[in-house]
Amino acid sequence: MIQFQHVSKSYGKTPILKDLNFTIPDGQFVILIGPSGCGKTTTMKMINRLLEPDSGTILIDGQDIHNQDKVELRRHIGYVIQQIGLFPNMTVAQNICVVPKLLKYDKSRCDQIVQEMLQLVGMEQYADKYPSELSGGQQQRIGVLRALAASPPIVLMDEPFSALDPMTRESLQDEVKSIQQKLNKTIVFVSHDMGEALKLADVIIFMESGQVVQMASPEEMLEHPANDLVRNFLGKHAPDVPAPSTVEHFMRTNVVSVRKDRGVLECAERMARSSVDSLLVTDEHERYVGTISIGDIRHWGRELTSIEPLVRQSARTARVGDEAKESFDYLLDSGANYVVVLNADDTIAGIVTKTSVARSVAENLWGEAK
């Protein structure tokens, strides 16, 4: 676990990092992202003490790293940077084994590490080649393997793939993600590419001017970007929120209904009270069965006790989830007053009226109506 507690740093009088506070749990793939100059590299370099904070504390597994020997600390932290930095006069195998050798691992253990590492990226046959004999992407793969060779629990990666062509970058991203999951590493990865962040990260830390603007999972960030800058960064990756187009968005829900076993008089009274000339009728399970009109009650009502014989199935119905357009077209063409919207279980969800059509038009013209 890596913890930043009130970490601040200035260069001269310019504050660069301002009271950073965050915790990175073990085994997480964390991406630091934000505009150029926001302090990503500075933040990362503090984790392996290439830079020191002016104030605040950084803890790894609960230990203040300020009190730890730098060299010892870095043995537990792999580091990959954009400029690959393989040693040109060393073979691939020797490059991979720089740290294991420093740690005085014996030859057979080093050989085994080389083999295991190269297997991770399918480059076993390259062990004795020199960096100049490798493509850029292959060299960067070896750079990643070198950082992993002594099996550090934490790996820092500062825009490791930004100099690579898109195809190579894609495949290295896949490889690093699968290595991270296989070996259960904590990876702190600097990127300014939101596509890369969304693809790789368990958690994205979005920085702006030396502060954390948002720390969230890719899904959360996509759904609730903290501010316009984050939204801009998400850009084309943000889901297009489709304009609402289904009936339930436009329907009225305060609808007067009556049970079919009710009396004619009661029904007429309720219409009067609600100033309507028809009511929706339901059965004993609240399921829609039809409508009843004041005209029919006036005509036939005298001889009847319950309204059931007067219920008509003439009103048009739609289902929740149906496109509103069909109902709108119907209302405008037929002159009908409403379309009844039903839930999946046939209970009444609401009604779409001509007022609903007007609201939809208004929303399309002026945005979300109040």
Ligand X SMILES: Nc1ncnc2c1ncn2[C@@H]1O[C@H](COP(=O)(O)OP(=O)(O)OP(=O)(O)O)[C@@H](O)[C@H]1O
Binding segment for ligand X among 34-42, 180-188, 227-235, 276-284 (CB under 6 A)?
A: 34-42
Fill in the amino acid letter for 137: G
Q: From the list 2, 16, 24, 271, which residue makes contact with ligand X (rule: CB under 6 A)?
A: 16
Site for Mg ion contains 282 (CB under 5 A) = no
Least distance (Å) between residue 17 CB and ligand X:
8
How near is the Cβ of 169 to ligand X at its closest, in Å?
Answer: 16
φ, ψ for residue 323 (rounded to 5)? -65, 135
For residue 263, give both structure tokens.
């009396």
Instruction: Choose among 218, 192, 225: nearest CA to 204.
Output: 218
Q: Which is nearer to ligand X, 37 or 122 (CB)?
A: 37
The minimum distance between CB 246 and ligand X, in angstroms, equals 43
Closest residue to bound Mg ion by CB: 41
Closer Cβ to Mg ion, 41 or 173, answer by number: 41
Number of residues that bind Mg ion (CB under 5 A): 1
In the shown chain, the binding pattern of residues 172 to 211 toward ligand X, with x for contact by CB under 6 A and - for none, equals --------------------x-------------------
# binding residues, ligand X (CB under 6 A) = 10
**26 to 45: interface string for Mg ion, x by CB under 5 A:** ---------------x----
- Applying CB under 6 A, which part among 32-40, 84-92, 174-182, 359-367 lies near ligand X? 32-40
User: Closest distance between ligand X and the C-beta of residue 46, in Å?
Assistant: 10
Q: Cα(247)–Cα(281) distance, rounded to whole angstroms? A: 20
Write down the number of H helices and E strands in the chain.
15, 16
Q: Which of 120, 125, 130, 221 is nearest to 180 (CA)?
A: 120
Burial of 318 (0-12, 13-18, 19+ CB in 10 A): buried
Residues between 35 and 94 that touch ligand X (CB under 6 A): 36-42
Which span sits near ligand X by CB under 6 A: 33-41, 120-128, 145-153, 353-361?
Answer: 33-41
Secondary structure class of 367 (helix, strand, coil): coil
- DSSP string of 217-240, one letter each residue: -HHHHHHS-SSHHHHHHHGGGSPP
Question: Beta strand 317-319 with 338-342: parallel, antiparallel or unpaired?
Answer: parallel
CA distance 203 to 25: 10
Instruction: Mark 254-289 as b/e (b = at least 16 C-beta within 10 Å).
Output: ebebbbbebebeebbeebeeeeeebbbbbeeeeebb
Q: Looking at 30-38, 264-272, 285-293, 340-348, which segment touches ligand X (CB under 6 A)? A: 30-38
Supply the minimum distance, in Å, between the C-beta of residue 221 and ligand X: 18
Q: State the nearest-atom distance from the C-beta of 47 to ligand X, in Å.
A: 13
CB atoms within 10 A of CB 136: 12
Closer residue to ligand X (CB): 97 or 157: 157
CA–CA gap between residue 262 and residue 289 (Å, rounded): 13
Minimal distance in Å, beta carbon 22 to ligand X? 15
Residues at the interface with Mg ion (CB under 5 A)? 41
Residues at the interface with ligand X (CB under 6 A)? 11, 16, 36-42, 192
